[in-house]
């Protein structure tokens, strides 16, 4: 039951993270277009800068929970990695309770009124020459923080399982660093070759 709950939250944040990952593609094309028209045609756009910070902001807010579900946030783990899994679980659980939840719950609370006020005013950028609306990005703040809070509960359940079993439960993985993938391929190839060679 606990595993199903953890993986359900992981899957939800995976879907949201993958959906907002399309912002990267749109951002790349928009920025490339701006560079082309600015430097090749000497005719810069009035919207490219605003588009870039809006899309980057949306990506930032909505991919935090996805990154947490993949254990991808930066960690100074020069001491952490030498500890037994049970010790890691105890320390992580303590840090989630003392620091993580107060911060993200405050962000949900403050972000909700901030986002609703921006929606009510149909807030637009005062720095934009064309008055690009920014209320859409501000309304994402409480939703992104809410998903982060939900993923935090899943991580607490992982910590409890780790403390109980002295081992971390398996995570969902859909992206792997190229270096890791190559290393796994080489290890599998070496294993197959040693099995084919047989005992010497």
Q: Count structural domains, the chain.
A: 1
- Quick check: is 145 in a domain? yes
Q: For residue 77, give its domain range.
A: 2-173
Kindly give the confidence (pLDDT) of every residue in the chain, 200 residues in length, as a single tens digit, with 9 standing for 90 and above. 788 888 899 899 999 998 998 888 999 998 899 999 999 998 888 888 888 888 888 888 899 999 998 887 877 777 888 889 999 999 999 999 999 999 999 999 999 999 899 899 888 877 777 788 888 888 999 999 999 999 999 999 999 999 999 988 888 776 666 666 677 788 888 888 887 776 65
- Quick check: is 196 in a domain? no
- Quick check: is 120 in a domain? yes
Question: What CA–CA distances, in Å, run from 68 to 62, 114, 161, 187, 197?
Answer: 11, 24, 17, 28, 43
Rounded Cα gap, residues 189 and 142, in angstroms? 47
Ordered DSSP codes for 88-144: HHHHHHHHIIIIIHHHHHHHHHHHHHHHHHHHHHT-B-SS-TT--B-HHHHHHHHHH
- Quick check: is 143 in a domain? yes
Radius of gyration of the chain (CA): 22
- Quick check: is 140 in a domain? yes
């Amino acid at each position: 039951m606990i595993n199903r709950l953890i993986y359900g939250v992981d899957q939800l944040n995976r879907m949201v993270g993958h959906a907002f990952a399309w912002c990267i593609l749109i951002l790349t094309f928009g920025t490339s277009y701006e560079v082309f028209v600015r430097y090749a045609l000497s005719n810069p756009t009035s919207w490219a800068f605003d588009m870039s910070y809006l899309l980057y902001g949306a990506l930032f807010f909505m991919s935090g929970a996805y990154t947490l579900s993949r254990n991808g946030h930066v960690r100074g783990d020069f001491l952490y990695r030498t500890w037994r899994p049970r010790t890691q679980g105890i320390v992580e659980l303590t840090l989630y309770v003392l620091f993580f939840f107060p911060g993200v719950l405050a962000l949900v609370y403050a972000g909700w009124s901030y986002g609703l006020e921006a929606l009510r005013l149909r807030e637009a950028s005062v720095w934009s020459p064309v008055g690009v609306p920014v209320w859409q990005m501000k309304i994402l703040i409480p939703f992104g923080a809410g998903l982060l809070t939900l993923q935090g509960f899943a991580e607490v359940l992982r910590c409890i399982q780790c403390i109980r079993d002295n081992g971390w439960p398996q995570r969902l993985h859909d992206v792997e660093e190229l270096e890791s993938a190559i290393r796994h391929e080489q290890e599998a190839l070496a294993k197959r070759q040693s099995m084919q060679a047989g005992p010497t």
